[in-house]
Amino acid sequence: MKKLGLLISVLAMLLLALSACTTVPQASTPAPGGEAATSGEAAASGEAAASGETAAAGGKLAEIKAAGKIVVGTSADYAPYESIDENGNFVGFDMDLIRAVGEKLGVEVEIVDMPFDSLIAAVQQGKIDAVIAAMQATAERDQQVDFTIPYRMTKDAFVAAGDSTLVIEQPEDAAGYRIGAQTGTVQEGWIQKNLVETGLTPADQVFSYERADQAALDVASGRIDLLLMDAEPSIALAEETGLKILLITELTAEGGKSIAIPDGATDLKAELDRIIQELIDDGTVLKIQEANGLP
Amino acid sequence: MEFFQDLVTTLNFILQGLWVTIGVTVVALTIGLLFGVVTAMLRVYGNAFLKQIATVYSVIVRAVPVIVIIFILYFVIARFVNLSPFWAGSLALGFASGAYQTEIFRGAFQSVPPGQMVAARAIGMSQMQAIQSIILPQAARLALPGWGNEATLVLKDSTLVFVVGVPEILRRAQQVSARTLEPFVAYAAALLLYLALTLLTTQILQWLERRYRLQM
């Protein structure tokens, strides 16, 4: 009987905890402000504690402007997008970009380092105002948060052996050659859809690999002619394994990297979309990209 | 030689996380001590209802990974109370450690011969007075070795608070590793710091144990 009582209390507590979790999004109240934010402790600002739901009422942008700063989360372990230099400064493409955005927005930018997995939850709970972490706006993430327009399109690379004489000027030029890609990637999907289903390449000429470096070895040994993969890691990989990159293109890629903001913060999204478009148009993004050695 | 130069540079960078780690550990241990002593008292001397509550706390919290508790406390509870990541992480770690410390102190309370409580009550002390002046001092001495073990565990569990963005030693090592692509140097520096901290903690506790040992 005693055991049963304990079991029942445990279950009751679990139920309570669970119901608390599920009711939180509805029952949100803006927490009082006044939290001293020190960069070392990566404190969330008081204003940031207000939830996404209050932002939906049209206050998120005004809130950020009133606070005079935007708190942006990132996961600083993904150079050249975001990392920390030996003096403890946040550096990289995303960091330069978000500072440029902050300048246009007329507010200070406070960057907070978190594990990548915690970022979406943190922006949902209002712990941070936005996320910039080379993050792609996937359908699953889009259900949790909102995304700005992409500030950088994903690019793919066609890689061939160092002594290859192939010429690839557009993705369709790969038709008919033995081609490899990583299993389950966007690139593999593109090959299936655009080369195999259209009849340009026979299905038995397409090879799929667990990892990109395994595919690279097969390219080097001549077992396949081409490898289609993410452009950024391809540069280091090609250098390491003596391969050459024939083409870097956006045409095979889907979507790009966006800034994540709280769900329903339409005013903030409109403003950030405008600023990002401006930065792309005036060449700032290109400049930042070159400064950080990105293709 | 280059390895040692890298190690020194890395140590310098990671050292900024040292105070965070120490801060988190001290706060968590203190909170855990309060929780532990009180719930252990309830588990041993409380009435049926209080005993049940204390047992449920100890059983559930010890059954859940600490990282889950930190995450939930930060993202769910901190919505209503505006806690900084440092405090949320430290409190959550303390809340979790409290459950383990409950068991340490429960064992210690139960190791004090029951006759002492009976004797204390017989000379007119209330139960609270008896616990305070007869049982607790003896239990504290018995709990010390086990508690020292828990202290080093909490020190190492402090690596978990990074899940809410507190940049302690291990996260700083990860940042170095991501930048330099030399994980060995980065983690070797972290290892040295943790080793130093753990040895220091153990020394302090040994001194305490000697200081409060029964003199025969």
Tell me the nearest-neighbour CA distance from B205 into chain A, angstroms. Answer: 29
Residues with Cβ within 8 Å of B30's Cβ and at least 6 positions away in sequence, in order, are B94
Q: Give the position of tokens 């979507």.
A: A255
The better pLDDT of the pair A39, B213 is held by B213
Task: Please report the pLDDT score of residue B144 as a whole number.
Answer: 93
Enter the pTM of the model: 0.72
Say yes or no for a CB contact (<8 Å) between B179 and A127.
no
Identify whether the C-beta of residue A174 lies closer than 8 Å to the C-beta of residue A158: yes
Q: Does B162 touch chain A (CB under 8 A)?
A: yes
Q: What are phi and psi of A226, to 5 degrees?
A: -135, 155
By C-alpha distance, which of A99, A29, A105 is closest to A67? A105
Say yes or no for a CB contact (<8 Å) between B86 and A41.
yes
Q: Give the position of tokens 């005036």.
A: A282
Identify whether the C-beta of residue B40 lies closer than 8 Å to the C-beta of residue B109: yes
Which among B86, B175, B187 is the top mutation candidate for probing chain A, defined by the most A β-carbons within 10 Å of its own β-carbon? B175
Average pLDDT over residues B157-181: 86
**How many other CB atoms are there within 10 angstroms of residue A275's CB atom?**
19
Residues of B in contact with A28 (CB under 8 A): 79
**How many other CB atoms are there within 10 angstroms of residue A163's CB atom?**
9
Q: Does B60 touch chain A (CB under 8 A)?
A: yes
The better pLDDT of the pair A166, A25 is held by A166
- CB neighbour burial string for A13-52, b if at least 16 within 10 angstroms, e if fewer: eeeeeeeeeeebeeebebbeeebebeeebbbbbbbbbbbb
Which is it for strands A206-209 and A179-182: parallel, antiparallel or unpaired?
parallel
Residues of A in contact with B76 (CB under 8 A): 20-21, 24
The per-residue pLDDT of chain A, averaged, comes to 81
Say yes or no for a CB contact (<8 Å) between B85 and A24.
no
Identify whether the C-beta of residue A262 lies closer than 8 Å to the C-beta of residue A146: yes
Task: Please report the pLDDT score of residue B96 as a whole number.
Answer: 94
Two tokens at A156?
């793919």
Two tokens at A154?
């994903």
Residues of B in contact with A76 (CB under 8 A): 175, 178
Which tens digit of pLDDT belongs to each residue from B112-156?
A: 999 999 999 999 999 999 999 999 999 999 999 999 999 999 999
Say yes or no for a CB contact (<8 Å) between B84 and A21.
no
Say yes or no for a CB contact (<8 Å) between B165 and A114.
yes
Say yes or no for a CB contact (<8 Å) between B82 and A127.
no
Q: Above 60 in pLDDT, residue A92? A: yes
Q: Which amino acid belongs to residue B167?
A: P
Which is it for strands A69-74 and A108-113: parallel, antiparallel or unpaired?
parallel
Say yes or no for a CB contact (<8 Å) between A9 and B71.
no
Residues with Cβ within 8 Å of B115's Cβ and at least 6 positions away in sequence, in order, are none
A26-35, A75-84, B84-93 — which one is most confidently predicted on average? Answer: B84-93
Alpha-carbon distance A133 to A76, whole Å?
Answer: 8
Which among A1, A22, A113, A240 is the top mutation candidate for probing chain B, defined by the most B β-carbons within 10 Å of its own β-carbon? A113
Identify whether the C-beta of residue B84 lies closer than 8 Å to the C-beta of residue B23: no
Alpha-carbon distance B127 to A114, whole Å?
Answer: 48
Alpha-carbon distance B156 to B143, whole Å?
Answer: 20
Which tens digit of pLDDT belongs to each residue from B65-121?
A: 999 998 888 877 777 777 888 998 999 999 999 999 999 999 999 999 999 999 999
Say yes or no for a CB contact (<8 Å) between B166 and A84.
no
Task: Please report the pLDDT score of residue A38 as a whole number.
Answer: 36
Give the three-state DSSP class for A138. Answer: coil
Residues with Cβ within 8 Å of A234's Cβ and at least 6 positions away in sequence, in order, are A157, A159, A212, A245, A248
Q: Which amino acid belongs to residue B4?
A: F
Q: Above 60 in pLDDT, residue A45? A: no
Which among B52, B79, B171, B182 is the top mutation candidate for probing chain A, defined by the most A β-carbons within 10 Å of its own β-carbon? B79
ipTM: 0.74
